[in-house]
């Protein structure tokens, strides 16, 4: 198939989007007008995903332009940020930054071990307060376009947010200061799901009152199922608000592993991931009351998960190839030394692979949960130069587990989505191809969403910054940066060279 034919086929699979009407001062989000996440009378529901903006206190003007243009073009019901909003390694955070969750902050923090601990502590607290102000400034610039248009939003975290020196819980608290944020209160999340057993979680879900937003209360009737900071679920109702059609699950996929490479979701998060589809079904049946629907008989509400890291099984959408083949990309860490291209039989036209899939070394069991517990799609970021959509079949064992949960029979595969960076503050594709992703659901086939990349070049035009940061990924041109070390396992030879350089 030629590139022109691919482009034509890709255009046919894109959702039709219309610009907002001039003079309409209502919230741009239809769900915000209705007070809850739900399908419109048109039978549509739209999510806009922004990922890996990864910027410092002064956000790139081009990033803001992309956000504004994407909102106006798509009129999403909700915007979901899938991690690495904050470039925690930015020089602005030099006095509080930390490379790992378990490591002590650098800069001012090092002085806390001195005899003048009280004075050093005061200096560090002052530095933390500056960091909070910087993070607040970043969040304000990112969500102002949403607030101006009345669009609710939610956020999860990646592997760089916490590196500014603030915990994800504290960053989430800052996000909740702004209008439209759907993230539940972290304190409430701990009391509802923190150390409770499965029965207690289910009971709390049954009795949980809708989480009401601060500020402008965009969705006063929206229910939120909470777990940990960056991990929670949002049910989406049908047009008549009689039952939950699907769920949007935001998941904190972790940051770094002590053994090396990237980390995995916490045990509590994985348990929540497994149980929340049934929790939603229980709540939906209670909501339906006397309204008997097909969904009210299901034991689990089908869900889509949004997170930062891709899972290992994303490699199932690739096929091995020779190192010198056209568009061949080397895999990372466990997959290093092998080269891949996209499998065109499994991925949609318009997809592209710009780098290896950088996933955790260990399989946390998340994919098995997605297969067995009622998920029809997963959307991740992290790999700034990848943009592809594909579907992998469900294994027979997982299909049997789904049947036991009375899930819709139309869900016979798991859609996996990779999105490029939406920002201009870090590496990625050429500036014109940095993008937001629209995901549109249709009530006639809600578990087969259509998706479209909204690229800067098409929506806005020529970026004001005429350059894009990129690094070489060949064996001869790997820079000695933390990011690349994370992507390539250390060999005995590289360890010896590293020791000799010391």
DSSP string, 349-401: TT-B--S-----SS--SHHHHHHHTTEEEEEE---TT-BEEEEEEPPHHHHHH
Confidence of residue 487 (pLDDT cuts 50, 70, 90): very low
- The answer to whether residue 91 scores a pLDDT higher than 60 is yes
pLDDT, greater one: 235 or 489:
235
Name the CA dihedral angle for 51, 56, 61, 62, rounded to a multiple of 10 degrees.
-40
- The answer to whether residue 199 scores a pLDDT higher than 90 is no
187: number of CA atoms within 13 Å, CB side?
2
- The answer to whether residue 43 scores a pLDDT higher than 50 is yes
Task: Find the helix or strand (DSSP H, E) in which 227 lies.
Answer: strand 225-228
Least confidently predicted of 103-112, 278-287, 371-380, 435-444: 103-112
Rounded mean pLDDT of 27-35?
91
Phi first, then psi: give them for residue 245, nearest 5 degrees.
-80, -45
Return the pLDDT at 6: 53
In whole angstroms, give the CA distance from residue 58 to residue 378. 31
372: number of CA atoms within 13 Å, CB side?
15
Return the pLDDT at 483: 45
Least confidently predicted of 272-276, 291-295, 452-456: 291-295
Q: What is the DSSP letter of 138?
A: H
Diameter over CA atoms, the chain: 74
CA angle 347, 349, 351 (to 5 degrees): 70
Name the CA dihedral angle for 138, 143, 145, 148, rounded to a multiple of 10 degrees.
-130
Return the pLDDT at 286: 78
Q: Give all strands (DSSP E) within 4-157, no chain letters.
A: 44-50, 78-82, 153-156
Confidence of residue 27 (pLDDT cuts 50, 70, 90): confident
Rounded mean pLDDT of 337-357?
96
Mean of the per-residue pLDDT values of the chain: 83
Confidence of residue 467 (pLDDT cuts 50, 70, 90): low
- The answer to whether residue 327 scores a pLDDT higher than 70 is yes
């Amino acid at each position: 198939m030629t590139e022109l034919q691919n482009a034509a086929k890709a255009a046919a699979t894109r959702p039709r989007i219309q610009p907002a009407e001039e003079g309409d001062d209502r919230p741009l989000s239809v769900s915000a007008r209705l007070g809850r996440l739900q399908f419109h009378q048109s039978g549509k529901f739209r999510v806009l995903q922004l990922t890996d903006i990864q910027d410092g206190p002064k956000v790139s003007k081009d990033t803001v332009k992309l956000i504004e243009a994407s909102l106006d073009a798509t009129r999403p019901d909700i915007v979901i940020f899938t991690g690495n909003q904050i470039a925690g390694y930015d020089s602005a955070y030099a006095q509080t930054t930390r490379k790992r969750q378990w490591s002590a902050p650098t800069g001012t923090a090092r002085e806390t071990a001195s005899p003048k601990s009280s004075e050093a502590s005061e200096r560090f607290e002052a530095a933390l307060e500056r960091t909070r102000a910087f993070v607040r400034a970043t969040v304000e610039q990112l969500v102002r376009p949403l607030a101006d248009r009345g669009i609710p939003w939610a956020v999860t975290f990646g592997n760089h947010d916490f590196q500014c020196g603030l915990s994800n819980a504290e960053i989430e608290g800052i996000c909740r200061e702004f209008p439209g944020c759907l993230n539940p209160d972290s304190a409430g999340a701990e009391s509802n799901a923190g150390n409770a057993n499965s029965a207690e979680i289910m009971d709390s879900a049954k009795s949980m009152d809708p989480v009401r937003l601060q500020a402008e209360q965009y969705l006063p009737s929206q229910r939120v199922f909470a777990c940990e900071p960056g991990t929670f679920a949002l049910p989406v109702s049908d047009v008549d608000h009689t039952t939950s059609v699907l769920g949007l699950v935001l998941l904190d996929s972790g940051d770094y592993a002590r053994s090396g490479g990237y980390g995995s979701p916490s045990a509590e998060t994985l348990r929540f991931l497994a149980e929340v589809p049934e929790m939603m079904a229980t709540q939906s049946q209670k909501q339906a009351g006397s309204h008997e629907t097909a969904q009210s008989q299901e034991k689990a509400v089908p869900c889509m998960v949004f997170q930062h890291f891709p899972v290992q099984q994303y490699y199932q959408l690739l096929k091995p190839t020779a190192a010198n083949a056209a568009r061949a990309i080397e895999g990372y860490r466990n997959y290093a030394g092998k080269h891949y291209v996209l499998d065109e039989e499994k991925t949609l036209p318009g997809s592209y692979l710009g780098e290896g899939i950088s996933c955790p070394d260990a399989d946390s069991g998340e994919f098995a949960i997605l297969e067995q517990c009622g998920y029809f799609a997963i959307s991740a970021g992290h790999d700034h130069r990848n943009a592809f959509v594909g579907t992998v079949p469900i294994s027979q064992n997982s299909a049997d587990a789904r049947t036991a949960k009375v899930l819709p029979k139309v869900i016979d595969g798991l859609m996996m989505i990779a999105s490029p960076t939406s920002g201009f503050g870090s590496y990625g594709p050429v500036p014109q191809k940095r993008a937001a992703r629209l995901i549109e659901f249709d009530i006639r086939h809600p578990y087969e969403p259509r998706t479209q990349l909204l690229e800067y070049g098409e929506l806005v035009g020529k970026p004001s910054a005429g350059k894009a940061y990129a690094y070489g990924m060949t064996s001869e041109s790997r820079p000695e940066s933390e990011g690349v070390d994370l992507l390539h396992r250390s060999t005995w030879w590289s360890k010896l060279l590293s020791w000799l350089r010391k």
